[in-house]
Amino acid sequence: NAGVTQTPKFRILKIGQSMTLQCAQDMNHNYMYWYRQDPGMGLKLIYYSVGAGITDKGEVPNGYNVSRSTTEDFPLRLELAAPSQTSVYFCASSGSSSGNTIYFGEGSWLTVV
């Protein structure tokens, strides 16, 4: 069972570069989320989506963009990377098919230098 798959797992970016974190789920979940977790801290919601074509901002959306063209995929775009974006990024999904439990990917470790 794949669940939620994130790529890449590790990435080093230079200041000002851009990149996309990929996320895919195979559980037919309507809801998908992107969180970031800074060292020693909890989870902060960046963006979320309630279905294909519908996205909304979370607590910390600045510097990021998302799109949801299909139910399965929810990529996160980092524009003009800054050292403050050094973090672990988690994609997650939930839906009625899994009792509304949120399931997480393994995380993407991003360092901006």
Partner 1 sequence: AQTVTQSQPEMSVQEAETVTLSCTYDTSESDYYLFWYKQPPSRQMILVIRQEAYKQQNATENRFSVNFQKAAKSFSLKISDSQLGDAAMYFCAYRTTSGTYKYIFGTGTRLKVLA
- Distance of closest approach, residue 42 Cβ to partner 1, in angstroms: 5
- Distance of closest approach, residue 69 Cβ to partner 1, in angstroms: 20
Judged by beta carbon, residue 1 or residue 101, the one nearer partner 1 is 101
- Distance of closest approach, residue 72 Cβ to partner 1, in angstroms: 18
DSSP, collapsed to helix, strand or coil, labels residue 14 as coil
Residue type, 43: L
Beta bridge partners of 37: 43, 88
Judged by beta carbon, residue 82 or residue 109, the one nearer partner 1 is 109
CA atoms within 13 A on the CB side of 100: 1
C-alpha to C-alpha distance for 74 and 69, rounded to whole angstroms? 8
Chain residues in the site for partner 1 (CB under 8 A): 31, 33, 37, 41-43, 45, 48, 50, 56, 58, 88, 90, 92, 94, 99-104, 106-107, 109
Residue 72 near residue 25 (C-beta atoms within 8 A) = yes
